[in-house]
């Protein structure tokens, strides 16, 4: 029985046939980030820098946070289970063994999470067969989509900008209109119930400050050396051209990194006044460290994961605790949104649900895993072959049933298990 039926299309059909369908042309890179001319997250910030998606990704901390979140989630397999026994099920469009889909599961969810982290919204086109079965999932660039609420049905409709054959946006034509039957919409945190808010837009000031600091540092090193200042000429200058000539000769002989540490030679009529502000007074390092912490906070990423190790203990006393905090407070927010929307719109079967396997993020060292397996085996709630499967080993005969817990007789509840008695004492004492 299907839970997700097509919406009534009567009120949302656009007249005219589309000249180009962006979902059906694999030569057009839907995942490209070159659409900032269409989508800008805001005006110039107080730093004077206009922050867009493209420019924000140039900031190392932003790139690292988005890359980390996308790869961590995508690396965890999305499994489908059936309640109540949690029996694994196979949904072909979500299976890594399906070679007919455009994207592998890793590529699909990496792109979805990247869109969520940057735009606060991810749109996935559900390509269907003639029998209405979903056969492919294709992420759609958020810059192309506008979300509205259809008052008649009370459901979302999606206005998708048309693309030309070369991949450019065709603003002269009306957008194509789709319903939630064709597009799966995964949202981040929002306030209007329709769309999520962009982390880049909300953090534009911090990102703009980081971009401005990078430019300031680059200009400082481009000018180079400690010879910045004022050249005082005691004799009157005839004209501005003479002053420019003195400046040009000075810059040619002394400016640039290659002249760092050189000695300036002045004649009797010339004085040099040093007005260069040392880098430590400009607090380049401190401001960059502050920007790193601020941007990591925006994305919910522990600072040590983006290279700031000074405050790593604030997330726990060990790497395992820090990783657990990252998974619980950040990663699970992305996985839960993807799981529930996938369960409703892709799995689309009662008592079946999709769930990411996050256990790989907590695998630990070989010794830690083996000790955990030993405890689980001794407790009787896992089988030997289940352990071998987790380690990518083939199953063995006789390991399909759990071992009885220590001290428990499988033939009598509460009775001592003879196999664990002291066999050296005939009385079992």
241-291 pLDDT, tens digit per residue, is: 777 777 777 777 666 666 565 666 666 566 666 655 565 555 666 777 778
Q: Which residue has the higher pLDDT, 325 or 43?
A: 325
Rounded mean pLDDT, 405-409: 63
In a domain, residue 425? The reply is: no
Q: Is the pLDDT of residue 172 over 70?
A: yes
Are residues 164 and 136 located together in one domain of the fold? yes
Asked whether residue 428 is assigned to any structural domain, the reply reads: no
Within this chain, do residues 11 and 29 fall inside the same structural domain, yes or no? yes
| Cβ-based burial of 68 (10 A; exposed 0-12, middle 13-18, buried ≥19) | buried
pLDDT band at 360 (very low <50, low <70, confident <90, very high): confident
- Clarify whether residues 128 and 252 are in a common domain: no
Verify that 76 and 173 share a domain, yes or no: yes
234 and 171 share one domain:
no
Q: Answer yes or no: is pLDDT of 133 > 80.
A: yes
pLDDT in tens, 284-311: 667 777 788 888 889 999 888 887 776 5
**Residue 216 in domain:** yes
| pLDDT for the residue 385 | 87
Last residue of a domain, one of 275, 295, 313: 275
More confident residue, 353 or 224: 353
Q: Do 383 and 256 belong to one domain?
A: no
Let me know whether 131 and 180 are in one domain.
Answer: yes
Could you count the other beta carbons within 10 Å of the beta carbon of residue 136?
Answer: 19
Regarding whether 32 and 140 lie in a shared domain, the answer is yes
Mark which of 208, 242, 275 sits at the end of a domain. 275
The yes-or-no verdict on residue 350 having pLDDT over 70 is yes
**Which of the pair, 239 or 72, is modelled with greater confidence?**
72
**Cross-strand pairs, 159:** 146, 177
Residues 147 and 167: their CA atoms lie apart, in Å, by: 21
Is the model's pLDDT at 400 over the cut of 80? yes
Quote the percentage of the chain above a pLDDT of 90. Answer: 29
Range of the domain at 372: 367-420
Asked whether residue 130 falls in the same domain as residue 257, the answer is no
300 shares a domain with 384: no
Q: Helices 204-223 and 284-299: crossing angle, nearest 10°?
A: 150
Measuring CA to CA, which residue among 372, 14, 323 is closest to residue 159? 14
Cα separation, 361 vs 363, in Å, equals 6
Question: Into how many domains does the chain fold?
Answer: 3
pLDDT at residue 105 tops 50: yes
Residue finishing a domain among 362, 377, 400: 362
Higher pLDDT among residues 292 and 229, named by residue: 292
Do 177 and 292 reside in the same domain of the chain?
A: yes
Give a yes or no: residue 427 inside a domain: no
Cβ–Cβ < 8 Å for 207, 200: yes
Q: Which residues pair with 148 in a beta bridge?
A: 157
Task: Give the model's confidence band at 378: pLDDT under 50 very low, under 70 low, under 90 confident, else very high.
Answer: confident
| pTM of the full structure | 0.71
The arithmetic mean of pLDDT across residues 153-169, rounded, is: 87
- The answer to whether residues 182 and 298 belong to one domain is yes
Q: Is residue 209 over pLDDT 90?
A: no
d(CA 286, CA 307): 14
Q: Read off the pLDDT band of 354 (50, 70, 90).
A: very high
24-48 pLDDT tens trace: 444 444 444 344 444 445 556 777 7
Tell me: pLDDT of 346 over 90: yes
The pLDDT of residue 313: 55
User: Is 426 a member of any domain?
Assistant: no
Does 429 fall in a domain? no
**Residue 23 pLDDT more than 60?**
no
The number of C-alpha atoms within 13 Å of 298 and in the hemisphere containing its C-beta is 26
Residue 89 lies in a domain: yes
The answer, yes or no, to whether residue 221 has pLDDT greater than 90, is no
Residue 211 covered by a domain: yes
Kindly list the strands in the beta sheet with 134-140, ordered across the sheet, starting from the edge strand earlier in the chain. Answer: 134-140, 121-128, 183-187
Residue 348 has pLDDT above 90, yes or no: no
């Amino acid at each position: 029985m299907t839970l997700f039926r097509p919406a009534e299309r009567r009120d949302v059909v656009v007249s005219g046939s589309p000249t180009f369908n962006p979902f059906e042309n694999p030569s057009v890179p839907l995942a490209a980030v070159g659409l900032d001319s269409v989508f800008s997250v805001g005006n110039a910030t107080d730093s004077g820098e206009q922050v867009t998606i493209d420019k924000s990704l140039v900031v190392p901390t932003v790139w690292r946070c988005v890359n980390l979140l996308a790869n961590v989630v995508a690396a965890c397999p999305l499994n489908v289970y059936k309640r109540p026994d949690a029996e694994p099920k196979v949904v072909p469009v979500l299976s890594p063994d399906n070679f007919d889909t455009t994207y592998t599961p890793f590529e699909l969810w990496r792109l979805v999470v990247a869109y969520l982290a940057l735009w606060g919204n991810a749109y996935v086109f559900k390509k269907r067969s003639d029998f209405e079965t979903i056969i492919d999932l294709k992420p759609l660039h958020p810059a192309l989509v506008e979300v509205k609420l259809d008052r008649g049905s009370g459901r979302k409709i999606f206005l998708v900008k048309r693309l030309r054959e070369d991949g450019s946006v065709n603003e002269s034509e009306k957008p194509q209109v789709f319903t939630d039957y064709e597009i799966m919409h995964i949202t981040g945190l929002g306030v209007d119930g329709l769309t999520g808010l962009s982390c880049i837009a909300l953090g534009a000031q911090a990102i703009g400050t980081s971009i401005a600091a990078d430019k300031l540092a680059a200009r400082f090193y481009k000018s180079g050396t400690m010879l910045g200042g004022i050249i005082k000429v005691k004799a009157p200058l005839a004209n501005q051209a003479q002053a420019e000539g003195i400046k040009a000769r000075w810059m040619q002989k002394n400016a640039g990194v290659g002249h760092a540490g050189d000695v300036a030679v002045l004649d009797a009529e010339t004085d040099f006044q040093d007005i260069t502000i040392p880098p430590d007074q400009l607090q380049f390092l401190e401001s960059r460290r502050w920007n790193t912490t601020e941007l990591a906070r925006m994305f919910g990423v522990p600072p040590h994961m983006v290279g700031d190790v000074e405050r790593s203990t604030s997330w726990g006393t060990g790497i395992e605790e820090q990783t657990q905090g990252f998974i619980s407070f950040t990663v699970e927010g992305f996985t839960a949104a993807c799981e529930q929307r996938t369960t409703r719109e892709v799995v689309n079967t009662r008592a079946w649900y999709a769930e990411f396997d996050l256990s790989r993020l907590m695998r630990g060292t070989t010794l830690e895993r083996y000790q955990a397996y030993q405890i689980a085996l001794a407790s009787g709630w896992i089988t030997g072959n289940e352990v071998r499967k987790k380690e990518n080993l083939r199953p063995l005969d006789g390991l399909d049933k759990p071992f009885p817990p220590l001290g428990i007789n499988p033939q009598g509840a509460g009775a001592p298990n003879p196999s664990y008695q002291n066999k050296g004492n005939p009385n079992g004492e």
